[in-house]
Amino acid sequence: PKGKVSIIPMPASITEKQDSFLLDKHTVIVATGEADRKTAALFNAWLKEFTGYELDIKETGDRNAITLHTGNDSTNAEGYTLNVDNKGVTINGNSGAGTFYGIQSLIQLLPVQKADAMYIPGVSITDAPRFAYRGLHLDVGRHFFPVEFIKKYIDLLAMHKYNTFHWHLTEDQGWRIEIKKYPRLQEVASKRKETMAGHYTENNQQYDGKPYGGFYTQEQVKEVVKYATDHFVTVIPEIEMPGHALAALTAYPNLGCTGGPYAVGTRWGVYDDVYCAGNDSVYAFLQDVLDEVLPLFPSKYIHIGGDECPKVRWEKCPKCQARMKQEGLKDAHALQSYFIQRMEKYLNSKGRQIIGWDEILEGGLAPNATVMSWRGIEGGIAAAKQHHDVIMTPGSYCYFDHYQSQGHNEPLAIGGYTPVSKVYSYEPVPAELSKEEAKYIKGAQANLWTEYIANTDYLEYMVYPRASALAEVLWTPAGKRNYDNFVDRLKVHVKRLDQKKVNYAKHVFEVTGAVTDNKKGGVEVKLDSKLD
């Protein structure tokens, strides 16, 4: 009764054996040390939820056992080996993360159906990720999602061996993190009067007339970060500057060039009103905000945004103009660069590093910044050539707010067309880079912007199975990737998503064949309204 081996992401090396291991209620988990016992407990919790089993966790034992052991190999910390034969299961992690990933693979070897005796197919796996940074982002500014859902999002990340959750916490349409020193961020910036309905139209925009709001308390943020840490997921918070700041300006109008009044955004798109770059109270405000944010997030990286900052206010603002003169800045791009560099200096002084969207290249890159390349891959190439770390998130492969099928009942999306096959075909290292430069590509990330995504069912529909595909891009050696084989495994994998009650998109695997033209992205269909 040997089950089929069907792991996503595909391990670096896997050999199947003839025999199998029978997990029954006498099986024990052998784990010594706190970290291994914690991981054993997570595995046990999973077993209990989905199979009804609960195993004893012991310090020693060698018969009928699942044995965890964590070593200390910092060169390949997330790697592990997993051996299954008729005598037992052994996981050797190179670090706590490695052991945890060994468990994730083991979970995927278990039968999906409930059974009294569960056969685990014999395998010998040696595994480690291709990329160090494997991320998924979530915009909670446009729409807000509760803590319980964020935890489920993190569960699914961990299941797919993602290690980073990029939490986009501030936006024009809502500020979502409690900052105690600035109560109006909670009272004013976290709420909007209403929300635009449908796509943007120039003349006759409709609104829903319903107030909308929400924010996470610092206690809730701590709870999420702890949960993520237990699942070996790092949470990177994003506090946007100097653009996408209309909600904050509404709460504190002195932070803008004109002094307002402002109103928290109710339509999607880019707003002209941004933080004033000539006003020292803006830097003081942002430093105060970061002083409350940093203790909540142990992450080495803090995302400072940097995208889509119109310069029209700065061009007319006496304070911004004075600042440019005083600092010898030749144009508004240089002023943006000044802004980012000043905030980088502050964060570096607190032992943190910044990540910014690729616009931070304009006017000169801050000395230690990591660049997130979203407007295609050019920003990533430029940054790598300047020996800066890069995370690739090009829109045409990594934006999961795009349509994924041309089916008739697709819910309204922002546009674009990025089926799962196209995501799977993505190659994060641009061919333009030399071998040396390629080392600066730390990994990739999918972004989920939620302008059109107002509930968690729709959210999961947009993310899965595309995130399953990107997980394999990020983890599996490039040469081992094969779309048809992936789809075969995906058909098993979705049963695991069913177990977790994930509302994944169900009709998208065979939409198109694998897209092989990595560089140009093959199919590119622009859609700007509901498909019909």
Q: Is 344 in the site for ligand NAG (CB under 6 A)?
A: no
Helix (H) or strand (E) holding 98: helix 96-109
Token code pair at residue 383: 């940054």
How far does the chain reach from its first CA to its final CA, in angstroms? 46
Mask for 153-192, x = binds ligand NAG (CB under 6 A): ----------------------------------------
Helix (H) or strand (E) holding 206: strand 206-207
Candidates 227, 103, 217, 213; CA nearest to 153 is 227
For ligand NAG, the closer of residues 80 and 452 by Cβ is: 452
Minimal distance, residue 512 CB to ligand NAG, in Å: 22
Token code pair at residue 135: 């991320």
103/119 Cα distance (integer angstroms): 16
Query: 3-class SS at 357?
Result: strand
Bridge partners (DSSP) listed for residue 236: 166
Q: Is 357 in the site for ligand NAG (CB under 6 A)?
A: yes
Query: 3-class SS at 496?
Result: helix
Query: 3-class SS at 88?
Result: strand
Is the CB of residue 13 less than 8 Å from the CB of residue 118? no
12/127 Cα distance (integer angstroms): 5
For ligand NAG, the closer of residues 303 and 493 by Cβ is: 303
Minimal distance, residue 399 CB to ligand NAG, in Å: 5
Q: Is 53 in the site for ligand NAG (CB under 6 A)?
A: no
Biggest CA pair distance of the chain:
77
Is the CB of residue 163 less than 8 Å from the CB of residue 97? yes
18/410 Cα distance (integer angstroms): 44
Is the CB of residue 216 less than 8 Å from the CB of residue 235? no
| Of the candidate residues 155, 308, 362, 378, the single one contacting ligand NAG (CB under 6 A) | 308
Minimal distance, residue 307 CB to ligand NAG, in Å: 4
Residues 359-418 that bind ligand NAG (CB under 6 A): 374, 399, 401, 414
For ligand NAG, the closer of residues 36 and 172 by Cβ is: 172
Give me the residues that bind ligand NAG (CB under 6 A), please: 307-308, 357, 374, 399, 401, 414, 449, 451
